[in-house]
Amino acid sequence: MGTEPDWEHAALLVVDVQPDFMPGGALPVSEGDRILAPLRRLLESGRFRHRVATQDWHPPGHISFASRHSGRAPFDTLGLYGHPQMLWPDHCIRGTAGAALHPALPWERVDLILRKGTDPQVDSYSGFRNNWDPRGERPPTGLAGYLRERGVREVYLCGLAREVCVKWTAEDAVEAGFRTRLLWDLTRAVDPGADEALRADLTRRGVEIITSDRLPG
């Protein structure tokens, strides 16, 4: 496959652009609001035939919330089903304003909204697969099949947060066989200080990192 995008077989994946991840939200990502205007322009450009959004959608008392675990604080780590689990502030609780898709974006241009994190006992970062469950498995969300049935071969990722849900989605996209490009300028990180290591890790795993100004058309 060449270096130019194959728009007929490409999908834009917009990850978790929700108020709780914006400055002032329950789990703020530094400068998360800076991606809104350019992402709106990209969605309105009509460049991508296929457009998917993921939405964090937790029930109250989700197992990933620090408040669920006595004596634990946000950003502590514990073992869960044989793997480390970061504990988060309560965020993106289904039906709340913070869990809504951000009102600044034209969501009517999105074909599919995939809600994740809905199981109270299992966290879910990636749009393609949940985190580990009590059986030690990472169940698929169905997104890979949805894209394949529409002829998608390559995906472009943006959204929040860069080193958590965007990263996991990108890695799983590669694993699922999609050519994967991350639009770096349309993401932001909880910890920008880790960006250099993150870029190296993603590149090593087969994710191509570009910026939106490199998109032709």
Phi-psi region of 184 (alpha: psi -120 to 50; beta: other; left: phi over 0): alpha
Given the residues 92, 165, 167, 172, the one annotated as active site? 165
Percentage of the chain lying above the pLDDT 90 cut: 92
Runs of H (alpha helix) within the chain = 36-44, 143-149, 167-175, 195-204
User: What does the pLDDT average to over 7-22?
Assistant: 96
The CA-atom distances, in angstroms, between 157 and each of 81, 90, 91, 185 are 28, 25, 22, 11
CATH of segment(s) 7-60+92-214: 3.40.50.850
Over residues 206-217, the pLDDT tens digits come to 999 999 998 876
Given the residues 56, 116, 158, 167, the one annotated as active site? 116
Q: What is the pLDDT of residue 25?
A: 97
Contacts of 187 (CB under 8 A, 6+ apart): 35, 157, 158, 159, 160, 161, 162, 166
Over residues 123-158, the pLDDT tens digits come to 999 999 999 999 999 999 999 999 999 999 999 999
Looking at per-residue pLDDT, the higher value among 98 and 191 belongs to: 98
Q: Which of 9, 58, 48 is nearest to 158 (CA)?
A: 48
Given the residues 16, 33, 56, 172, the one annotated as active site? 16
Q: Give the separation between CA 128 and CA 133, rounded to whole angstroms.
A: 14
Q: What is the pLDDT of residue 186?
A: 98
Over residues 153-199, the pLDDT tens digits come to 999 999 999 999 999 999 999 999 999 999 999 999 998 899 999 99
Contacts of 82 (CB under 8 A, 6+ apart): 132, 136
**DSSP secondary structure string for all residues of 49-78:** SEEEEEEE-BPTT-TTBGGGSTT--TT-EE
> Is residue 167 among the annotated active site residues?
no
- Neighbour count for residue 114 (Cβ, 10 Å): 18
Q: What is the pLDDT of residue 131?
A: 97
For the chain, the structural domain boundaries read 7-60+92-214
> Is residue 16 among the annotated active site residues?
yes
User: What does the pLDDT average to over 74-94?
Assistant: 96
Q: What is the pLDDT of residue 1?
A: 40
pLDDT greater than 50 at residue 110: yes
> Is residue 165 among the annotated active site residues?
yes
